[in-house]
Every structure is written in C-alpha cells, then in structure tokens.
Amino acid sequence: MQGKHLNLSRLEDIPEEAPRDRQSFAAMGIKSTLTIPLSYGGRISSVILIQHMRRHQTWPEEYIPRLRLLGDIFVGALGRKEDRSKLEGRLRFETLLSEISGLFVNLPVDKIGSGIEDAQRRICELFDLGRSTLWQICGGEPGSRLLLTYGYFPSGRPELPERMYANDFFPWVSQKVLDGETVILSKLTDLPPEAGRDLESFRAFNTRSTVVVPLSVGEGPVFGMLAFGVTRDERGWSETALMGIKLVAQVFANALARKQMEEQLRAHLHEIEGFKQRLEQENIYLHEEIKQLIEYKDIIGQSAAIKKVLSQAEQVARTDSTVLLLGETGTGKELLARAIHGLSARKNRPLVTVNCASLPPTLIESELFGREKGAYTGALTRMAGRFELADGSTLFLDEIGELPLELQSKLLRFLEEGSFERLGSTKSQHVDVRIIAATNRDIEQDVADGKFRRDLFYRLNVFPIVIPPLRERLEDIPLLVWAVVKEFQKKMGKDVESIPKKAMQDLQSYSWPGNVRELRNLIEHAMILSRGKTLDISVPKRASAEAYAAGNLNDMERVHMTAVLEKTRWRISGPGGAAEVLGLKRTTLLSKMKKLGIKRSGKALSK
C-alpha cells in the first residue's frame, strides 16, 4: 500500500516483525513470492502476485518493470471498465432522479403516497437495496413521534406493528435525524455505545448498512425521515449515492408538504362550508323560532310557587346538567327553558328547540340527528340535525314523552357518550350540547307502563323542575292579565285603562285547565270585542273544581273540552283553535270528541 514491490526468494527473508505473514505463507505452502503494486487514478488499486509452490525462486529485478507495465495495462483496462460502469450507473441514477422529480411536480395529492412507494421501489432495484422506509411526525401524537407511513420491502413486508414508531425501535437514529443530521452506517459497529436499542432493532430486521436522511422544506423544521437499508452485506455509501438520496428526500419532502397543505386547505374549506351551512340553517331556524316566541319575554309572577321555580332555574342554569321540566300544558315550560339558557354560559348561541310531538316518527330521527345524502328515498342532500345545530348551545326537547321508543335509545347513548350517528352514516359525531327536556305527561307512569325507557328517564331526571299550574298561583293572574293587555294594546291600537273588579275576581276563581295559554287566548278574545277603555272579560262558565272531583275522568274531560270548543266558537285547528288551547293535535282532538260523544248541534265544525 506504500507503493513498494516485495521480492522474497524464501520465507526466511521475511523480517521478524512479520511473523503472521510468515505463518500464512507457510500454511499455504508458498516457497517464494513476488508482489508488485499497481496504481490507477493516483492511488494503489491492485497488485500482481506471482508465487512459487515447489521451490525457492529468485526473480530478476529487470522483470519487475516489465511486469509492472503489463499490470498497468490490465489495471487500466479494468479501471476504464469500472469507470464506464460507474458512469452508466450514475447516468441511470440521474435519469431516475429526473423522472422522479418530474413526476411529483404535478402529481395529484391523492396519488402522492403511491408515487413515493413506487419511487422507493425503483431506487432499491437500481442499487440492489434491501428496503426503504419513510417516517413522518404524527400531528395527533404527543411529542415528535415518527410514524412509519410508506415503505418498500423487496422480499415482502416483514411482520410489523400496525402503527410503528421509529422512536421506539431506533431512538438514537430518530433523535439524530430530528436534530437535522444525516445518519450513515456502513456497518453496525459504527453505532456508538448509547445506541444499544438501535443496534438490537437493526439486527432484528437483518439490516447490515443504512443511510437515514431528514425530511424538511427549506429552513423549516424536520417533519420526517427517509431511510434506505442493505440486508445482504455491508456496504459503503459513495458521495454520489448520498447526494442522490438527499435529492430524492427533498423531492419527497416537497411533495408531502404540498399534500399536507392541500389537505389542510380542503379541511378548512370543508369547515368553512360547514360553518356557512350552519349559519344558514341557524338563520332559517331563528326566523322560524321568532315566529313561535311568545310576545312577552319575561316570566311574570310574584307568587311563592313561581319564585321557587325561578330559584331552581337560576341554580341549575350555570351548570351543564340535564334539566327535566314537568308541568301541564300551557304553564310556560319553553319560556322557562329559554330563561335557563339565557342565564347559562351558552347564552351567546341560540337555543335550539324540537317539539317531539309535532314531527312524524319517520322524520324525527333525521330532524334530531341529521342525515347523509341518499339515507332514504328523497334524501337528495346531506342535512345537519338539531344536535349539530346546537353544538356549544342548549337543545330543548319539548314533549319528550312523545319520543318514539326506537329513538329513545339513541338519545340515551348521546347523554351517556356525547356522540351519535347521522341517519345513513356509521361515523360518530361528537358535539357539546346541553339538554333541557319537558313534558306534560306523567312520565313516571309511562316508565311503569313500558312506554318510556327507565334508564333514559334517570338520565333526564338529573334536575327536575315542576312548574305549577295557574290555579296554584292565582295571585299572579292580575300581573299576567295586564301584561297580556299591554301586548295586545300595541298590536290592536286600543287603549284599555281598567278591568272590572268582578271580572278579575272571576278570573282568579276559574280553574284554568289550559293555564297561561288559555288565559292569553281569553284576553285576546276580550280585546278583540272591546270598544271602550274598560275591558269586559267573559270568563267561561264551568263547574267548580269540587264538582270536577265528584265526576269521573271522562265527564271531566267532556266538560272541559266542550267549554274550550264553545269559547273558540267550535274552531278546531289554526291559531286560537281548540286544538292549540288544549295542546293537542287536530286529529287527536277529533278522535277524543268522537270517543266522548261531543257534537255541535245543528252546525258543522270549523276545521
């Protein structure tokens, strides 16, 4: 290696400092040896070795220049062959790099992954490599966890974990790469002592040599790494190969960065579209809700009964606990739900209301939970349900006792897990919704009768509030009457200054089966007929509560229903109709009238 030839006629000529050489020659039966170094490209690249096995041989010194000349011819030919092979290999590699670079310039985002794995395959085949892997930092993982995302394994993919992290198997290499360093290992013994876990993993995966390059764009942070490994034998990595691999890593990094940016852009656009649809739906919903709002905003009353209810509402409003409002029809359950929502931290979002009795069973599921396009015949578009609309707000489920049994289990799951699926979808949706439910039914009896799920009742009954009927807060009637009068004065352009004392006493002695709603309708009717500044109110003539108690349930229902029909001039449906006053559906009212034998003699009913 120092460029000197060696001419040894006998083994005894070998100096004492070379005992190992003498032993080797002797073991192979060599008597004499002539070794001539040959150089190519300014470095010792080969030797001519001539040896005699039968006798001691002395080679004349004049042979040496001739043999060296002959050797130079051989070495020159071999060198040119090697240079040509390297040049061809370099040209193939540069051609491959050019093709890979051109491919990823306009490659669609959804094909970048398959494009990376195909490029890994071509590089491994060109250099006869054992495998190539690409790892990326997972955004949803804590810390800089490098997840295996793409790979090529010529002899078949080894058995790997479903989600494999480089930090667990190659912690030393991972940290070096995350620090921006390229790791080059021609042999595993190049690893330092602190890389024991890495050495163990390389051996387990039969890796003999490897090069690992960080992935980054410009001066940005490292977000991944690209590795190539040799599995058959140890191999050095030339500057040309390293430069090419780094160029490939840069191409992959740019493509992955573009893929991530486009995916984020699509996600943002999808989110914006979702917000747009949500705002449009909220706008439509709010317009509908405004029409349904009762005209006066505050809960009116000073009785102990109503003060107790308001105190309970204030206590629970500042929590996210589920509230169950219990009370007869017309007592103001929705008004109290709005008051609870208005006192809560969710007050800046609109209260979303669903009347479970007003929707047919076939539509209530999609109305509550939304639907996917094509979920059923006629579902031409995807629709967000009221739960999604109420995300971050409060959902008021009125007449919860009317919810079909098959949907009660879905509502129970939401109350337990906070998730649901749209109709026609298997993907779970997670929303932050506070539930307020209300019913005028004896829901505990419905549970006993098997009409309402017991487990759902317990979930809803976290904080029950019983709203007293108007007959239990008679002292509030004068306040309510004047509040309604003021409301209709503005609408009708009339000026009412007084109400007869006798009329007010009659109002306070009436049992009010329709509660505040019935009172409001009665005052409106009186305002329509009023022509002066004194409001004359005709209170319905009805048997006393004691008389009611003496009769059976059908008699009580018949008397009450007939009185309401007479008050509404036998108008069944529509605003101010008997169905609205009684809180019943039109079809339900007609069915009950038929069952109880209620008929208007001589005249047809107004439908």
- Give one word for 77, left, alpha or beta, with left for phi > 0 and alpha for psi -120 to 50: alpha
pLDDT reading at 444 higher than 80: yes
Confidence of residue 438 (pLDDT cuts 50, 70, 90): very high
What's the average model confidence in pLDDT over 436-444?
A: 91
Distances (CA, A) of 32 to 7, 22, 62, 68: 8, 11, 17, 18
Buried b (16+ CB within 10 A) or exposed e, 417-449: eeebebbebeeebebebbbbbbbbbebeeebee
The pLDDT of residue 181 is 93
**Which tops the pLDDT comparison, 575 or 353?**
353
What's the average model confidence in pLDDT over 65-69?
A: 84
pLDDT reading at 581 higher than 70: yes
The pLDDT of residue 262 is 84
Return d(Cα 336, Cα 306) in angstroms, integer. 11
Of 273, 290, 278, 215, give the one whose Cα is nearest residue 248.
Answer: 215
pLDDT reading at 275 higher than 90: no
pLDDT reading at 286 higher than 80: no
- Crossing angle of helices 171-178 and 196-204, in 10° steps, is 110
What's the average model confidence in pLDDT over 360-374?
A: 77
Please count the residues of the chain: 607
Q: Could you tell me if 306 and 468 are in contact, meaning their C-beta atoms sit under 8 angstroms apart?
A: yes
Topology at the third CATH level for domain 6-86: Beta-Lactamase (3.30.450)
pLDDT reading at 602 higher than 90: no
Confidence of residue 59 (pLDDT cuts 50, 70, 90): confident
The pLDDT of residue 292 is 39
Q: Could you tell me if 5 and 37 are in contact, meaning their C-beta atoms sit under 8 angstroms apart?
A: yes
The pLDDT of residue 212 is 95
Q: What phi and psi, each to the nearest 5 degrees, are found at residue 45?
A: -120, -25
Confidence of residue 371 (pLDDT cuts 50, 70, 90): confident
Return d(Cα 447, Cα 452) in angstroms, integer. 5
The pLDDT of residue 135 is 94
Read off the tokens for 127: 């250099």
**Which tops the pLDDT comparison, 279 or 385?**
385
The tens digit of pLDDT for each residue in 148-190 reads 999 998 876 777 888 899 999 999 999 999 999 999 999 999 9
The CATH architecture to which 293-468 belongs is: 3-Layer(aba) Sandwich (3.40)
Return d(Cα 582, Cα 361) in angstroms, integer. 22
The pLDDT of residue 5 is 86
The pLDDT of residue 385 is 81
**Which tops the pLDDT comparison, 92 or 223?**
223
Q: What is the value of pTM for the model shown? A: 0.46
Hey, where are the domains in the chain?
A: 6-86, 107-262, 293-468, 471-596
- Beta-strand ranges (E) seen in 153-306 are 183-185, 209-215, 224-230
Read off the tokens for 360: 């047919």
pLDDT reading at 342 higher than 50: yes
pLDDT reading at 86 higher than 90: no
The pLDDT of residue 403 is 87
Confidence of residue 582 (pLDDT cuts 50, 70, 90): confident
CATH 3.10.20.740 fits 107-262, yes or no: no
Share of the chain above pLDDT 90, in %: 25
The tens digit of pLDDT for each residue in 390-433 reads 889 999 999 998 888 888 888 888 888 888 887 777 788 888 99
The pLDDT of residue 293 is 40
Return d(Cα 112, Cα 256) in angstroms, integer. 7
Evaluate whether 6-86 and 107-262 have a shared fold.
yes
The pLDDT of residue 550 is 42
**Which tops the pLDDT comparison, 268 or 327?**
327
- Give one word for 161, left, alpha or beta, with left for phi > 0 and alpha for psi -120 to 50: beta
Q: Could you tell me if 16 and 38 are in contact, meaning their C-beta atoms sit under 8 angstroms apart?
A: no
DSSP category for residue 44: E
Residue 147 CA, chain-centre distance (Å), reads: 20
Of 374, 388, 446, give the one whose Cα is nearest residue 419.
Answer: 388
Return d(Cα 287, Cα 283) in angstroms, integer. 6
Return d(Cα 8, Cα 29) in angstroms, integer. 14
Confidence of residue 285 (pLDDT cuts 50, 70, 90): low
- Strand, helix or coil for residue 221: coil
Q: Looking at the domain covering 471-596, what would its CATH class be?
A: mainly alpha
Strands 6-8, 32-40: pairing is antiparallel
For residue 410, what are the contacts with CB-CB under 8 A and spacing of at least 6?
A: 365, 369, 420
The pLDDT of residue 374 is 64
CA dihedral 231, 233, 234, 240 (to 10 degrees): -80
The tens digit of pLDDT for each residue in 473-522 reads 889 999 999 988 988 888 888 888 898 888 888 888 888 888 888 898 99
- Strand, helix or coil for residue 226: strand
Burial of 278 (0-12, 13-18, 19+ CB in 10 A): middle
Average pLDDT, the chain: 83
pLDDT reading at 556 higher than 80: no
- Strand, helix or coil for residue 462: coil
What's the average model confidence in pLDDT over 540-564?
A: 62
pLDDT reading at 362 higher than 70: no
Read off the tokens for 164: 């494999």
**Which tops the pLDDT comparison, 563 or 251?**
251
pLDDT reading at 462 higher than 70: yes
What's the average model confidence in pLDDT over 231-259?
A: 87
- Give one word for 440, left, alpha or beta, with left for phi > 0 and alpha for psi -120 to 50: alpha
- Beta-strand ranges (E) seen in 367-462 are 394-398, 419-421, 428-430, 434-439
pLDDT reading at 551 higher than 60: no
What's the average model confidence in pLDDT over 190-204?
A: 93
